[in-house]
């Protein structure tokens, strides 16, 4: 099986044709368990998410705030492996037919082998990889392997990125551009802020790729705000928090994830 970059592109384009933003959910693999994580990803997709990012838990997640760090710690203590991440992608995509990406720091992929990881991710039905800490200047080997396997390479841009840097990053990426709405780590916030809209405008000046915004969105109103200027709305910590809040009741946690996805899906259709 080749990777599903085309499905990813078509999904974002279909949302745009409906005059709305795509809803992209993030959930880490292996949390609260491997099977529980797969069920959570499916719940998010069944609830209304168009696309899911499956996180590869990491011991030093520099972009992730305390909520996702807590989930990663639980997954790692339970012994989650790359094979479990790939299984999560495989089962979620097979069950829903929707695009599933992996979000990971570069070190685990580098140690596993870029070509091996790209090949196995494509075989699992993955749509691509988001690599927040991989410098564009050091990404050629990965990008070549990903392109050969039909996978998107999604890079992250931030408000601090200068225009010249934005152009260099977006020229190297594929699938979409992940725009971090503000400086700092992931987490829910009271306001997404004006920085995000400005960053999206500057990014669009450099590329035809869709621009999707993450960091800080946690409810339908914020999703609608971001949907008014972005091609996609990325939500992570709010989903993970639902599972953390129901750690003793898996069914309730899955119901909460599904309900949040439905609420956010309604939000991205209101477009601010």
**Residues with catalytic function:** 53, 64
Within a 10 A sphere around the Cβ of 269, how many other Cβ atoms? 18
Pick the closest to residue 123 from 153, 94, 161 (CA basis): 94
| Tokens (6 digits) for 41 | 């990803």
How far is C-alpha 208 from the geometric centre of its chain's CA atoms? 19
Q: Other CB atoms closer than 10 Å to residue 79's CB: what's the count?
A: 9
Nearest-angstrom CA–CA distance, 245 and 256: 9
Q: Contact 217/229 with Cβ under 8 angstroms?
A: no
């Amino acid at each position: 099986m080749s990777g599903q970059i085309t499905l990813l592109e078509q999904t974002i384009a279909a949302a745009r044709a409906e005059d709305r933003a795509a809803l992209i959910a993030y959930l880490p693999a292996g949390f609260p368990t491997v099977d529980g994580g797969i069920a959570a990803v499916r719940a998010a997709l069944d609830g209304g998410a168009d696309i899911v990012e499956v996180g590869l838990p990491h011991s030093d997640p520099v972009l992730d705030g305390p909520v996702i760090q807590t989930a990663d710690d639980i997954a790692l203590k339970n012994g989650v492996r790359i094979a479990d991440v790939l299984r999560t992608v495989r089962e979620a995509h097979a069950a829903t037919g929707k695009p599933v990406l992996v979000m990971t720091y570069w070190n685990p992929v580098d140690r596993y082998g870029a070509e091996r990881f790209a090949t196995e991710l494509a075989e699992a039905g993955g749509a691509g990889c988001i690599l927040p800490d991989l410098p564009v200047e050091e990404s050629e080997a990965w990008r070549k392997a990903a392109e050969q396997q039909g996978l998107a390479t999604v890079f992250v841009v931030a408000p601090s990125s200068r225009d010249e840097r934005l152009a260099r990053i977006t020229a190297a990426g594929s699938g979409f551009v992940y725009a971090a709405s503000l400086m700092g780590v992931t987490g829910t916030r009271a306001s997404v802020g004006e920085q995000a809209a400005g960053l999206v405008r500057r990014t669009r000046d450099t590329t035809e790729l869709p621009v999707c915004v993450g960091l800080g969105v946690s409810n339908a109103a914020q999703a609608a705000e971001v949907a008014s200027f972005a091609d996609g709305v990325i939500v992570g910590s709010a989903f993970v928090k639902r599972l953390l809040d129901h750690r003793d009741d898996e069914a309730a946690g899955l119901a909460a994830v599904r309900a949040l996805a439905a609420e956010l899906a309604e939000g991205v259709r209101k477009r601010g």
